[in-house]
Amino acid sequence: MEKLTVSTAIERMQEKFFRISDAIWTYAELALEEYKSSKLLADTLEEAGFTIETGVGGMPTAFVASWGNGTGKPVIGFLAEYDALPMLSQKGGVPVHDPVVPGAPGHGCGHNTMGTMQALAVVALKEFVQNNGLDCTLKYFGSPAEEMLVSRPYMIRAGAFKGVDVVIDCHTGDDFSVAGGVSGAGMYSFIVTFKGKTAHSGGDPWMGRSAADAVELMHAGTERMREHTPVTQRTHWVTVEGGEAPNVVPDRATTWYFIRDIDENLPDRYQWVLDCAKGAALMTQTTYEVKFLTGCHQRHSNTALAQLIYENIQAVGLPEYTAEEEAFAKAVQKNENVPQTGLNYRMRLVTDMPYRGGSSDVGDVTLVAPCATLRFPMRFPGNLPGHHWTVTTAGNTSIAHKGLSAGAKVAALTACDLLKKPERLEAIRKEFDEYSSEHPYKSFLPDDAEPPLGWNAELMAKYRGKMEEFYSEP
Ligand SMILES: [Zn+2]
């Protein structure tokens, strides 16, 4: 009966949140540039009675929204993301690749629905808690830059998760699911800048020292390193600066690395890659500097929480889709040459996730509080790629709204269970305490690391003006 109440509240409130999600979809702000998106969500929660703390962890677009009742215990956290991706602009509800603004960012991972889903869940929950006179604190963690895996390690370092008993995370899915156990890869992100000397490449090349050569040799070194590291490793890089004309010896060149592996392999691997940088500098008589951007752990999802979330996925069930929505899904699937199965989302509890090389900074949260990720249906089923226009095109449609609503219900119902059935929370905490005694959290961030503010400022500035005319009102 109570469960019905919170679901009914979500249905009563959701129209406004669909408009918020659609507006954030049009803003499509890149990591650490989510000024409008985070403000819209923070303002919405403030209006609903939550207290807002902004600038968390030194990031202007990070915030925590809190509201408590009675004793304020337990403290239930909700992770919320809202950043977009470069190059993924796409018109909504169109089954072919057709950007709104060519080259501009877009919500190719559906994060517009995620931050909004958790906002809807906590606003509905607040009403439920008040009506039932329950004790608790609800904490919404507005987390920027998930796509750069930046915010959570810095928010944790700033103490934002202290005293949180349990955390419900969410992500868009091509299914309706939740996973328990270890999954994904840990990751370090850092840039190496080499400095040499310019000279005329034809006239007096012996006067120059090429920073671009150093970058190439560092890449060659790490390429050889791969052969002798476990198969769980992923090592990739892009040259972000490598000279501007062949006739000027480049005195500056920069490479950006992601190194990924299981948590225990990463610290030593990082040292090996730094040795490749050192070797490259020696060979080219250049110097180098390393700027650490972020480091995050694998996910260590709480299985007892995953089980509880799964029970509520089953209770909520799959959304019902119209013939038009099914036809749209099949048109997208047809154009991408995957089976035209429509919106046949699976509901599942995953307990033995095969190793994949992707990473998320949610991993760090799973080591400081029991946490699991609820995946709600929003992307098209059929093994389509992530970070892709087919995700953007669904992001402001009724399909996304239905997924958002279903996800909010599961998150809210799971929180209701945590409040009404203390034995479930106790079992979750017990699993976490046992696990963390064997896997104590140690941040991968060096002490002097700072969030890379402004990393995307130039790229965002390039497109924001052109995107503005397509902004929708919340
Ligand atoms: Zn994502």
**pLDDT, tens digit (0-9, with 9 covering 90-100), for 453-465:** 999 999 999 999 9
Q: Where are the beta strands (DSSP E) in 317-434?
A: 347-350, 371-377
Q: How far is the CA of 429 from the centre of ligand 1 (A)?
A: 27
Cα–Cα nearest to 135, from 182, 198, 76, 183: 76
pLDDT given for residue 353 in this prediction: 86
What mean pLDDT, rounded, does the chain reach? 97
Q: Is the pLDDT of residue 343 over 70?
A: yes
pLDDT given for residue 383 in this prediction: 87
Average pLDDT over residues 29-45: 98
Q: How far is the CA of 176 from the centre of ligand 1 (A)?
A: 15
Q: How far is the CA of 83 from the centre of ligand 1 (A)?
A: 9
pLDDT given for residue 143 in this prediction: 98
Cα–Cα nearest to 110, from 13, 41, 19, 28: 28
Out of 186-190, 267-271, 381-385, 392-396, which region has the weakest mean confidence (pLDDT)? 381-385
User: Residue holding tokens 């609903």?
Assistant: 48
pLDDT given for residue 203 in this prediction: 96
- Percentage with pLDDT > 90 across the chain: 97
Token pair for 295? 């480091």
* pTM score: 0.95
Q: Is the pLDDT of residue 3 over 90?
A: no
pLDDT given for residue 348 in this prediction: 97
Q: Which amino acid is at 342?
A: G
Q: How far is the CA of 171 from the centre of ligand 1 (A)?
A: 6
Q: How far is the CA of 453 from the centre of ligand 1 (A)?
A: 20
DSSP assignment of 149-166: T-HHHHHHHTTTTTT--E
Q: How far is the CA of 20 from the centre of ligand 1 (A)?
A: 18
Q: Are domains 2-182+298-468 and 186-295 of this chain identical in fold?
A: no
Cβ 290 vs Cβ 278: under 8 Å = no
Burial 137-150 (b: 16+ CB within 10 A, else e): bbbbbbbbbbbbbb
Q: pLDDT tens digits, residue range 13-24? A: 999 999 999 999
Q: How far is the CA of 425 from the centre of ligand 1 (A)?
A: 27
For residue 297, CA distances in Å to 188, 221, 429 come to: 9, 25, 20
Q: How far is the CA of 9 from the centre of ligand 1 (A)?
A: 27
pLDDT given for residue 5 in this prediction: 87
Q: Is the pLDDT of residue 321 over 70?
A: yes
Q: How far is the CA of 409 from the centre of ligand 1 (A)?
A: 20
Q: Is the pLDDT of residue 1 over 90?
A: no
Q: pLDDT tens digits, residue range 78-114? A: 999 999 999 999 999 999 999 999 999 999 999 999 9
Average pLDDT over residues 375-398: 96
Q: Where are the domains of the chain?
A: 2-182+298-468, 186-295
Tally of residues, the chain:
474
Q: How far is the CA of 247 from the centre of ligand 1 (A)?
A: 42
In terms of Cβ atoms closer than 10 Å to its own Cβ (0-12, 13-18, 19+), residue 217 is buried
Q: How far is the CA of 81 from the centre of ligand 1 (A)?
A: 8
DSSP assignment of 21-68: HHHHHHH-PPTT--HHHHHHHHHHHHHTT-EEEESGGG-TT-EEEEEE
Query: 198: pLDDT confidence band, cut at 50, 70 and 90?
Result: very high
| CATH number assigned to the domain with residue range 186-295, chosen from the 4 options 3.40.47.10, 3.30.70.360, 3.50.50.60, 3.40.140.10 | 3.30.70.360
Q: How far is the CA of 384 from the centre of ligand 1 (A)?
A: 14
- How far the first Cα of the chain sits from its last, in Å, is 32
Cα–Cα nearest to 379, from 343, 326, 339: 343
Q: How far is the CA of 374 from the centre of ligand 1 (A)?
A: 12
Cα–Cα nearest to 439, from 297, 308, 303: 297
pLDDT given for residue 104 in this prediction: 98
For residue 446, CA distances in Å to 153, 314, 331 come to: 11, 42, 48
Q: Is the pLDDT of residue 352 over 90?
A: no
Q: How far is the CA of 307 from the centre of ligand 1 (A)?
A: 22
Average pLDDT over residues 29-36: 98
Q: Is the pLDDT of residue 190 over 60?
A: yes
Q: pLDDT tens digits, residue range 110-142? A: 999 999 999 999 999 999 999 999 999 999 999
Q: pLDDT tens digits, residue range 445-454? A: 999 999 999 9
Q: Is the pLDDT of residue 153 over 60?
A: yes
User: Residue holding tokens 């129209």?
Assistant: 15
Architecture per CATH, domain 2-182+298-468, reads as: 3-Layer(aba) Sandwich (3.40)
- Alpha carbon distance 377, 399 (integer Å): 8
Q: How far is the CA of 111 from the centre of ligand 1 (A)?
A: 6
- Alpha carbon distance 386, 165 (integer Å): 31
Q: Is the pLDDT of residue 2 over 70?
A: no
Q: How far is the CA of 143 from the centre of ligand 1 (A)?
A: 12
pLDDT given for residue 4 in this prediction: 67
Q: How far is the CA of 178 from the centre of ligand 1 (A)?
A: 15
Q: How far is the CA of 175 from the centre of ligand 1 (A)?
A: 14
